[in-house]
Structures are given as structure tokens and as C-alpha cells.
Amino acid sequence: MAQVSFEKDIKPLITAEDQAHMLFMFDLWSYDDVKSNAEEIYDSVSNGRMPPAATGRTWSSDKVALFKQWMDDGYQK
């Protein structure tokens, strides 16, 4: 399996709406911010707390697994 990277694989999972909603805490389109908050983000997407419930969508198990793989691969940029 190819190594998962932020720019190629993770950033495209995050919508403009998600990014704007979370700017009060951190920038979901920023590699450094996402890396620094990866455990919290992973917990939130895997438990359905993120994206916000108001959007009516959650990440599929495939997307959650991809984010976890990015973490396990060492947070490749």
C-alpha cells in the first residue's frame, strides 16, 4: 500500500465548510495544525463528532481508516 500523505490524501477529505467551522480552534487545511491535533481529530471523526452533526454527514469507515493510516505512517506531508 502506498504511503498516505496529508496533501494528497488527507486534505482532500476536509471540505471548505469543515475548515471554516473549525478555524476557531485550528486550521484543518494546515499540515502543522492537523498533525498537532491528529489524535483529537481522529477521535472526533471516528466517533462521528466531526464533521459537525449540523452538516448531516459523517466520515465513512474508509475515510477514518485513511486518516489513521496517515498517523501510523508518520504524518507524511
pLDDT digits (tens, 9 = 90+) for 19-54: 988 899 999 999 999 999 999 999 999 998 888 666
Give the domain ranges of the chain.
6-72
pLDDT over 90 at 65, yes or no: yes
pLDDT over 90 at 62, yes or no: yes
pLDDT over 80 at 58, yes or no: yes
**DSSP readout, 36-51?**
HTHHHHHHHHHTT-SS
Q: Which residues contact 47 (CB under 8 A, 6 or more apart)?
A: none
pTM as predicted: 0.90
The pLDDT of 60-73, averaged and rounded, is: 96
- Which band of pLDDT confidence, cut at 50, 70 and 90, is reported for residue 63? very high
Q: What type of residue is 45?
A: V
